[in-house]
Amino acid sequence: MSVSGVVTDALKEGRTMLTEVEAKELLKESGISIVETRLARTKKEALFISKEMGFPVVLKVVSPDIIHKSDVGGVKLGLKSGVAVSRAYDEIVSSVRQNKPDAKVLGVSVQRMARQGIEVIIGVTKDIQFGPVIMFGLGGILVEVLKDVSFRIIPITGADASQMVRELKAFPLLQGYRGQEPANIPLLEDALLKVSAFIEKHPEVKELDLNPVFAYKNGVLAVDARVVLEEGVSR
Amino acid sequence: MSVNRERMDRIFHPRCVVVIGDKKQTNYMWLRSVLTLKGHVYSVQINKDEWPGIEALGVKNYSSILDIPEPVDYVIVAVPRTVAHRVLEDCIRKQVGAVMFFTSGFAETGTEEGIRLQNVLGEMARKADLYMVGPNCMGIYNPEIGLRHHPEQYCGEGGEVGFISQSGTHATQFSLVGYVNGIKVSKSVSYGNGIILDSTDYLEYLGGDEDTRAIGMYIEGVKDGRRFFRTLKEVARAKPVVIWKGGQTEDGARAASSHTGSLTTSVAIWDALIKQCGAIRVDSFDELLDVVKALLYIKHPHGERVGLMAMTGGQSVVISDAFAKAGLKVPKLSEISYKELASFFNIAGGSYMNPLDVSSNFSSPELVLRMLNILGGDENVDTVAMEISSYFLSQRLRVGAKFTVDELVSALTSFRGSSQKPFFTILTAGPKEADALSIREKLVQQSIPTFPTFQRGANALKKLLDYTLSHAE
């Protein structure tokens, strides 16, 4: 599927929320490293893709009607074999059917289980007054409870990206607190710049969530992506 | 859209000003405000009962602006909202430079009628391509040409600070409280609902104004956020812009979600925008005043280390706390300084680590100057700050010290002139508030910056330092 195809198809179908597979497809253009994720329409396809990618893998339900996938039992992590993938596929399908019987299910997404890194999130929203705003924070509790996040108006400069990372109270965690693997700060800044540039090129993106993004010593990898489109914005 | 400089110049430097609807009930506040104008002032008032009062001010009154025998640059309108559109119609026919509506009762009321009336004015002005200030505001203040929006404002001498305010009170206060603190306005505007000319237009204009060295802003909201962002970025590169954002209430409940949209609060975004543009954020009127004062009167600091002088022991402890809490450092002095201090400093009841707790050493202006010079010459010190306690000073002047406040101020003036390092004072009053005010007046006259509390002085220095460092890159 072409990049522009993702957007036009979704809007044609009256959807503003892209599926995870579509969102990741669209985001390839940004140059950010994203976990390769493919759609499996059947159990057989899921098995085939899993073997091709290599275990362990993650399976997630793909449905335009389901926003919170884990709430409906639509996510299975750390699947180490074909048997585990088959079982997980069945469980996802039956659990979703039970919890959300009206949802249109396109299949499951298959992706390699990424090695755990420091969890960060990169988000974009549109402010009524100032337009697209980029957000950076450390994932999980630090964002949810402590609101330890930084914002900038898009477009951002290299200096903005550098400040965004450093103004977090949790910045020392990114530097490798108590012998933990540090995050690669220049690559994180680069990821912020890439998101900013991507949004400049795609005004039709209303919201973007890369959550989580794993930050490693030698890399940055977006594990999950969520994109919401705005209707009636031409590119 | 970019603002037209020539047309803005006409508004800020009018040669002919007309006041429509001024009345005795308000003691002709508008006419009295603009009587100082270097130029012509006329009144338009249809109520005959008001005519004698207007004529007593020496102002010629007309029944219609169309009868005024010369081109009109700036019109001040103080009529009821129900007739505002009729007045505007005449102004458009007269082809005036701009109309300022003191008149209120528009969109700010939140009522259907208020919004409708505002839309009528807006549409008329847009259609006629007329510049409008307000409505619901106090308009332009240009002290140099005697154009005021309050009869108590000074005029005749222009200052260096531009002020853009959505509120009339803050604009008036800034000029009046600023004045006694040595801060004088170059040009200012209170623009209220800002339906034609908005904050960005004024920012762009004052950004390019040669008389304006620094800009202060009180903003509640902007219309075109993207343009404001671009303009602020540009202007803040050329001169300091200090922003006080009104209406900072944060919807805390929303922030508990990991959903990015819900983390987006307007306060956080304003804060980010101000940082991103290289402007300075302040959160109160006092802080606005302090930071502007620091920008005007304190030399740019190169580092975070302060050399402090306090007049008594307890104060020397808490002045250190105040500066350290503000994110500054109170380091030990160099060995050379300690050696010199040891040669004369009486440590009975005092000490000289840093801060200098001077106590009885505060005995002559020469000694004060000597101690300041030690701090100023110390390689570990970037900025010198000194407490003047009007209470302690009054005691010293009564017992033990034979000098006057004027002599002290002249010693400080001499230090300010000769020292390469930034210097300011903190004037604590204790029970001697009247004394403090008179000392402040003397300090302001000599351009020696002074702050009323340790915290305010420390915070102003920190903001100045952050600004200086971020703009040095």
Average pLDDT over residues B307-326: 96
Which chain B residue has the Cα nearest residue A136? Answer: B260
CATH match of A118-229 with 3.30.470.20 = yes
Same domain, B417 and B318: yes
Domain range for B40 is 5-133
Q: Are residues B217 and B271 in the same domain?
A: yes
Q: Which helix (H) or strand (E) holds A93?
A: helix A82-99
Contact A47, A88 (CB under 8 A): no
- Please answer yes or no on whether B263 and A159 come within 8 Å at the CB atom: no
Residue A212: asked if its preceding bond is cis (omega within 30°), the reply is yes
Domain ranges of chain A: 36-113, 118-229
> Rounded CA gap, B465 and B280, in Å?
11
CATH H-level superfamily of A36-113: ATP-grasp fold, A domain (3.30.1490.20)
Q: Among partner residues A143, A151, A160, which is closest to B268 by beta-carbon distance?
A: A151
B250 band by pLDDT with thresholds 50, 70 and 90: low
Residues 163-192 in A contacting B (C-alpha not used; CB under 8 Å):
163
Say if CB B158 and CB B144 are below 8 A apart. Answer: yes
A109 DSSP β-pair partners: A39, A60
Please give the pLDDT value at position B258. Answer: 29
User: For residue B262, what pLDDT is reported?
Assistant: 30
Predicted pLDDT of residue A2 = 55
Q: How confident is the model at residue B473 (pLDDT cuts 50, 70, 90)?
A: low
Using left for φ > 0, alpha for ψ between -120 and 50, and beta otherwise, residue B322 falls in alpha
> pLDDT band for position B253 (50/70/90)?
very low
- Cα–chain center distance at B421: 24
* pTM given for the model: 0.92
Kindly report each contact of residues A41-47 with a partner whose C-beta sits within 8 Å and lies 24 or more positions away, as own/partner. Answer: A41/A106, A41/A107, A42/A107, A43/A86, A43/A89, A43/A90, A45/A107, A46/A85, A46/A86, A46/A89, A46/A107, A46/A108, A46/A110, A47/A82, A47/A85, A47/A86
Reading across the β-sheet that carries A37-40, which strands appear in turn?
A37-40, A107-112, A57-62, A75-79
Residues of B with CB under 8 A from a CB of A: 221-222, 225-226, 228-229, 255-261, 263-264, 266, 268-269, 271-273, 275-276, 473
- The Cα–Cα gap between B13 and B140 comes to 9
C-alpha distance from A212 to closest chain B C-alpha (Å): 11
Number of domains into which chain B is organized: 3
DSSP B36: T
User: Out of B259, B260, B273, whose CB is closest to A130?
Assistant: B273
Residue showing tokens 């009975």: B348
Domain boundary among the residues B133, B152, B177 is at: B133
pLDDT at B396 (0 to 100): 84
Q: Is some CB atom of chain B closer than 8 A to the CB atom of A105?
A: no
For residue A4, what pLDDT is reported?
Answer: 66
User: Chain B within 8 Å of A71 (Cβ-Cβ)?
Assistant: no
- Which amino acid is residue B9, in one-letter code? D
- B345 shares a domain with B446: yes
**CATH number, residue B32:** 3.40.50.720
Q: Which residues pair with B163 in a beta bridge?
A: B188, B216
pLDDT value at residue A179: 86
Mean pLDDT of B253-263: 29
Same domain, B24 and B72: yes
Q: What is the pLDDT of residue A139?
A: 82
Closest chain B residue by Cα to residue A152:
B272
Please give the C-alpha separations between residue B389 and each of B395, B401, B430, in angstroms, as whole numbers: 10, 15, 7
Task: Please tell me which of A139-148, B216-225, B316-325, B395-404 the model is most confident about, judged by mean pLDDT.
Answer: B316-325
What is the token pair recorded at B9? 């110049």
The CATH number of the domain holding residue B366 is 3.40.50.261
Question: Would strands B16-20 and B74-77 be described as parallel, antiparallel, or unpaired?
Answer: parallel
Same domain, B103 and B154: no
Sign for the pseudo-dihedral over CA of B203, B209, B214, B218: negative
Inter-chain touch A163–B260, beta carbons under 8 Å? no
CA distances from B318 to B97, B324, B362 (A): 55, 10, 19
User: CB B263 to CB A149 under 8 A?
Assistant: yes
| Per-residue model confidence (pLDDT) at position A227 | 95
Rounded mean pLDDT of B147-176?
95
Scanning every residue of chain A, which has its alpha carbon at the shortest distance from the alpha carbon of B260?
A: A123
User: B217 and B199 in contact (C-beta within 8 Å)?
Assistant: yes
For residue A205, give both structure tokens. 């993106």
**Whole-angstrom Cα distance, residue A173 to residue B434?**
52
Instruction: Please answer whether residues A184 and A154 qualify as being in contact, where contact means their C-beta atoms are separated by less than 8 angstroms.
Output: no
Contact state of B260 with A131 under an 8 Å Cβ cutoff: no
DSSP secondary structure letters along B362-392 = TT-HHHHHHHHHHHHH-TT-SEEEEEEEHHH
pLDDT at residue B251 in the model: 44
- Calpha distance A70→A92 (Å, rounded): 10
Asked whether residue B15 falls in the same domain as residue B112, the answer is yes
pLDDT at B358 > cutoff 60: yes
Search chain B and give the residue with CA nearest A146: B256
Radius of gyration of chain B from its Cα atoms, rounded to whole angstroms: 26
B310 band by pLDDT with thresholds 50, 70 and 90: very high
Q: Which of A80-84, B43-47, B166-170, B277-281 has the lowest mean pLDDT?
A: B166-170
CB atoms within 10 A of CB A74: 25
Which of B110, B133, B156 lies at the terminal end of a domain, its last residue? B133
Checking if the pLDDT of B263 tops 70, the result is: no
CB A149 to CB B268 under 8 A? yes
pLDDT on residue A146:
77
The answer on B454 and B310 residing in a single domain is: yes
Tell if the CB–CB gap between A135 and B225 is shorter than 8 Å: no
Length of chain B: 473
* Residue A57 near residue A110 (C-beta atoms within 8 A): yes
Is residue B264 scored above 50 in pLDDT? no
Burial of B62 (0-12, 13-18, 19+ CB in 10 A): middle
User: Does any CB of chain B come closer than 8 Å to the CB of residue A123?
Assistant: yes
Tell me how far apart the alpha carbons of residues B470 and B359 are, in angstroms, rounded to a whole number. Answer: 38
* Cβ–Cβ contact A226 with B under 8 A: no
Name the one residue in this structure whose structure tokens are 């290599």: A54
Residue at a domain's end among B262, B297, B332: B297
Give the Å distances, CA to CA, from A191 to A30, B247, B362: 9, 33, 59
Neighbours of B254 (CB within 10 A): 13
Specify burial of residue A78 (Cβ count, 10 A radius: 0-12, 13-18, 19+): exposed
Say how many CA atoms lie within 13 Å of A109 toward its Cβ. Answer: 25
Cβ <8 Å between B264 and A147:
no
Q: Please check whether residues B143 and B127 belong to one and the same domain.
A: no
Statement: residue B252 has pLDDT above 50: no
How far apart (Å, rounded) are the C-alpha atoms in residues A86 and A98? 19
Which among A123, A124, A131 is the nearest to B225, CB-wise? A131
* Mean pLDDT, chain B, integer: 93
Q: Which two tokens stand for residue B265?
A: 């609060």
Say if residue B106 is in the same domain as residue B252. no
Residue-wise pLDDT tens for chain A (235 aa)? Answer: 455 688 888 888 888 999 999 999 999 999 999 999 999 999 999 999 999 999 999 999 999 888 888 889 999 999 999 999 999 999 999 999 999 999 999 999 999 999 999 999 999 999 888 999 999 999 876 677 777 899 999 999 999 999 999 999 999 999 998 888 999 999 999 999 999 999 999 999 999 999 999 999 999 999 999 999 998 775 5
- Closest-CA residue in chain B for A153? B273
From the CA of B159, how many Å to the nearest CA of chain A? Answer: 32
Burial class (CB in 10 A: 0-12, 13-18, 19+), B453: middle
Report the distance separating Cα B176 and Cα B170, nearest Å.
10
Average pLDDT on B383-390 reads 97
**What pairing do the DSSP bridges indicate for beta strands B60-62 and B40-44?**
parallel
- Chain A contacts of B255, Cβ < 8 Å? 147
From B229, B260, B271, residue closest to A135, measured CB to CB:
B260
Q: pLDDT value at position A143?
A: 73
